[in-house]
Amino acid sequence: MSQNYIVALDAGGTRLKVVVVGEDQRILRSFHSASNAHHGAPALMDAIAKTVEDIRSNFDGAMLGIGLSLSGVIDPDKGVVYLPGKFKMLEGFPLVEKLKALFKVPVIADNDGRLAVYAEKSIGLARDKDWVVGLTLGTGVGSGVVVDGRLLTNRFLQFGVQIGHLILNSSSQLRCLTGNYGTGETLCSATALVLQVRGAIQRGIPSILSDAYFANPISVDFEKIADACRKGDDVCLREMESWSDNLANLIVNAVHAYAPELIILGGGATLAADLFLTKVREKVDRQVFRYPIGEPVAIEISRMQEYASALGAALFLRHVLSDGAKD
């Protein structure tokens, strides 16, 4: 039986995370494909267009629209309007307009962290919560915030999505794309832990990953580091501990800013939650200034894992279409 559907894509530097969602909110298909965003906006546009066309040719029913999850400051009707230097030519590229013209369906975009929290509020862990902070730990640190039941946004397009740019350690030598040093993104992302471990090995500290690093430094990724931690590697365990401390500090700042009843962690780094979640919870509860005194901060791992932002884009577009807010 045919069913109408929405295509939603979460675009990263190397991968598109894609979901096809039916009118009943059921995920009909989910998969990865190459984004080619590191080659520039036209290459990303071509990758999205090919992916959407392949889906359309293999599904019965009508495609109702396209939802886009993107990094940076996003105008829903244009795409990325501010993301200095992260992806070549993406800033200001009329991605939404071009997709509308090509496929003749409604297209809407929003920030990836905000959309992940929208998905959680719609059908996930935050469904019955009115005060929520979501953090996505991947290449960077995405965020989204629900306050008094409403997803934070405003005319500057950045409300609630800047937690990763809070400064944790201004004396750090790690520069963020914001121009600041020692931000959450530079200290708490999955990339941050990878760079910590690679740096330690480069300095000659012995690790079970040393041979792999010197053969090909890029091969030492987050997954390999997590595996090394589970095998008791001292370098990886020490760097994981330092990274966990930074993450706990970032969460404390988020709690002080928004007083959430729930923190949701998502993104690729959460696949190693067994290595850091208990420590992070303990440190946050020790350091947070909170009332009632002694009440623990609820910190949970998203059950949507890597598809939360794409799913949020689909659900948000569905909401917009149902309200008749977009043509």
Whether 290 is covered by a domain: the verdict is yes
Q: Using one digit for the tens of pLDDT, what is the confidence trace for 229-270?
A: 999 999 999 999 999 999 999 999 999 999 999 999 999 899
> What's the predicted TM-score (pTM) here?
0.93
Q: What percent of the chain has pLDDT over 70?
A: 98
Whether 137 and 248 share a structural domain: yes
pLDDT of residue 84: 81
Neighbours of 54 (CB within 10 A): 12
Task: Look up residue 169 and give its two tokens.
Answer: 């350690």
- Cα 77 to its chain centre, rounded Å, is 21
CA–CA distance, 245 with 3 (Å, rounded to integer): 47
β pairing state of 27-34 and 15-22: antiparallel
Whether 63 is covered by a domain: the verdict is yes
Whether 314 is covered by a domain: the verdict is no
CA–CA distance, 189 with 194 (Å, rounded to integer): 9
Task: Look up residue 124 and give its two tokens.
Answer: 């996930």
Whether 104 and 176 share a structural domain: no
Whether 78 and 152 share a structural domain: no
Q: What is the DSSP string of 220-259?
A: --HHHHHHHHHTT-HHHHHHHHHHHHHHHHHHHHHHHHH-
CATH number of the structural domain spanning residue 248: 3.30.420.40
Contacts of 14 (CB under 8 A, 6+ apart): 34, 35, 37, 38
Whether 104 and 181 share a structural domain: no
Burial class (CB in 10 A: 0-12, 13-18, 19+), 224: middle
Number of domains making up the chain: 2
Whether 15 and 138 share a structural domain: no
Whether 57 and 132 share a structural domain: no
pLDDT of residue 125: 97
Whether 321 is covered by a domain: the verdict is no
Which of 3, 12, 97 is CA-nearest to residue 47? 12
Whether 148 and 234 share a structural domain: yes
The boundaries of the domain holding residue 189 are 125-303
Q: Using one digit for the tens of pLDDT, what is the confidence trace for 35-58?
A: 998 889 999 999 999 999 999 999
> Which residue among 86, 110, 134 closes a domain?
110
Q: Using one digit for the tens of pLDDT, what is the confidence trace for 107-141?
A: 999 999 999 999 999 999 999 999 999 999 998 99
Check whether 2 has a pLDDT greater than 90.
no
Whether 129 and 78 share a structural domain: no
Whether 273 is covered by a domain: the verdict is yes
Whether 175 and 42 share a structural domain: no
Q: What is the DSSP string of 18-62?
A: EEEEETTS-EEEEEEEE--GGG-HHHHHHHHHHHHHHHHHH-SS-
Whether 317 is covered by a domain: the verdict is no
Angle CA(132)–CA(301)–CA(156) in degrees, nearest 5?
40
CA–CA distance, 10 with 128 (Å, rounded to integer): 25
